[in-house]
Amino acid sequence: MATECYFYPQIGAQPLNDYPRPQFERADWLCLNGIYEFTIGSDYDCPDEFDSTILVPFAPEYRASGVERHPEPEEYMWYRRAFSVPEDWSGRRILLHFGAVDYTCEVFVNGISVGSHTGGYLPFCFDITDFLADGENILTVRANDPTDKGGQPRGKQATKSHGFWYKSVSGIWQTVWLEPVNEAHIGSVKLTPDVFGKKLTVEADAPGEYALKAAITDAQGAPVTEAEIDGRTEIPLSGAHLWTPEDPYLYNIVFTLEKDGHTVDTVKSYFGMRDFSLRKDIHGYMRLCLNGKPYFQSGLLDQGYWIDTGLTPPTDGAMIYDIQKMKDMGFNMLRKHIKVEPLRWYYHCDRLGMLVWQDMVSGGDYESNFLVGVLPNMNIRTVSDSNYKLFKRTDEGDRAEFRRELFEMIDVLYNSVSICCWVPFNEGWGQFDAREIGLAVKEKDPTRFVDHASGWHDNGGPDFVSIHKYIMPVRAPKKDPQRPFVLSEFGGYSLILDDHVWNKNKSFGYMMYRSHESLTAAVKKLYEKQIIPLLAKGLSAAVYTQVSDVEAEVNGLLTYDRKVVKVDEDVMRGVNAKLKF
């Protein structure tokens, strides 16, 4: 059925100008999204002339940018714009933030390099104070993206779109912004809820000669408690209101850095009291638990692509729409697939009540079809990934880069309440040392689940027996005494809708249907005949493919343009209502 749901940036408006980091918010900031001078070419040094303009933060490959051109791996993207620092920020340090730039970049202010960054999906910033002039300043960025010609983490981006490899996203693709801070300021905070210990643990990076204080209020703003933070500090919270998808209750916390009665920094954040654990039920099956009780996670694969903006959400409302629409259909979890979203996306999951499995962005060469297509369908899903040659992971530098970005991603997203699971590898792509890496992720963050090798090849790591199954019937694996069974991908049922399809001739799906009614009936049957009966045989989570169509893939519950819901929402709510322990 048709619905009014897609939110395009308004012509002339500054795109994505909502506060970009709700988990660590200061009052003063300045959005630098908008029109930049732009050029693509072979020049490593800044060109004298820029031959076009681009609307930041949209990637040049996509219509919303105004460019619609893919840079070749050997080419450089150059961005330039003027900006002025607000007068009332005088005397403070000025930080220049980038939400994400794919893949490498160097940043210049007034022609002087202020720093460089490698990694296409994570935020970074530079202190540009010493490079600023009075009045107008010039920001210039040089970016390069090898896309699928390199072994870096890149997800499903391809130089040429085909099948489930999608149009690339190069250069700046998330918000650019300025933030003033005093010389002494809070660097970061790490929040760890402990439901059964009845406390919140706070770890902060702040100058030791200053007093750091925390004030917690409830969702309505009423005071709960206060504490002084000194290193790793435990704040008692007895009788806490717990966070669940059905009741996504969030506490507010405000940090103030003080000296001699003067406040030099104030940061607002929030947290939810929730606990993720594994426990055996009375039949000996390991179960995923939320706040100590078995909780079935009914989720969807969510690749986070939009038709005119690629990986960049077109607006804040577009992110909210996807999350809320899936929640309205009764789903309680999204598997963020091989992508890291802007921080506002996780904030909306936190406040709306949507669990998140967070994939690491895949990289390296794609393995042979025999390894990932033939063997898994012969139920051979346990090939050792220490054979780097077999998995096309022989490049030591690429493996080191993957590890670096994986653990940096966990640091960046740690305070997101909704994230319950880290997924380092998917279907063997770029997989190496998955058991070791899974254990390292678990050591770094013991508060969440780890799906060390989603789909295949299982190398005995934490925490799941994780299976993907398309077309063929879904059957329960042999009971594992320590690990629950999760169906981390299935379904993929498809429907092509004229006027809402990216390319009708190239469209594909795992099983094709002709109408809204026949697709709905098939999905309902799949759940009722195969998925729901497996709950009694150990199934603890199921991830249906997928939230929306993406390019030629037409297996979404929503069309790529988000203008049509392809299944009956009441039927989906009814199915999900049965997926409970």
Does the pLDDT of residue 366 top 70, yes or no?
yes
Per the prediction, the chain carries an average pLDDT of 95
Task: Specify whether the CB–CB gap between 231 and 240 falls below 8 A.
Answer: no
Mean pLDDT of 6-28: 85
Indicate whether 37 pLDDT > 60: yes
Res 231: pLDDT: 87
Tell me the pairing of strands 34-41 and 52-56: antiparallel
Q: Indicate the residue type of 315.
A: T
Q: Quick check: helix, strand or coil at residue 459?
A: coil
Environment class of 186 (CB within 10 Å of its CB; exposed 0-12, middle 13-18, buried 19+): buried
Residues 100 and 177: beta-carbon distance below 8 Å: no
191 strand-pairing partners: 202
Listed in order, strand segments (DSSP E) in 42-103 are 52-56, 76-84, 93-98, 101-102
Distances (CA, A) of 550 to 13, 107, 264, 568: 27, 32, 47, 20
**CB burial string 265-292: b at 16+ within 10 A, e below:** bebebbbbbbbbebeeeeeebbbbbbee
Q: Using N-to-C axis directions, what is the helix angle for 316-328 and 343-352, rounded to 10°?
A: 40
Residue with tokens 């999900």: 576
Q: How many CA within 13 A on the CB side of residue 575?
A: 29
- What is the predicted pLDDT for the residue at 33? 98
Q: Do you find a cis peptide bond into 103, omega within 30 degrees of 0?
A: yes
Per-residue b or e along 38-62, where b marks 16 or more CB atoms closer than 10 Å to that residue's CB? bbbeeeeeeeeebeebbbbbbbbbb
Structure tokens at 259: 């000296």
The reported pLDDT for the residue numbered 373 is 75
How much is the pLDDT for 8?
Answer: 62
In angstroms, the CA 462 to CA 450 distance is 6
Is residue 485 predicted with pLDDT exceeding 80? yes
Structure pTM?
0.97
d(CA 318, CA 352): 14
Structure tokens belonging to residue 260? 């001699």
In this prediction, residue 209 carries a pLDDT of 93
Ordered by where they begin, the domains of the chain are 32-181 (2.60.120.260), 188-271 (2.60.40.10), 276-577 (3.20.20.80)
Q: How many residues does the chain have?
A: 581
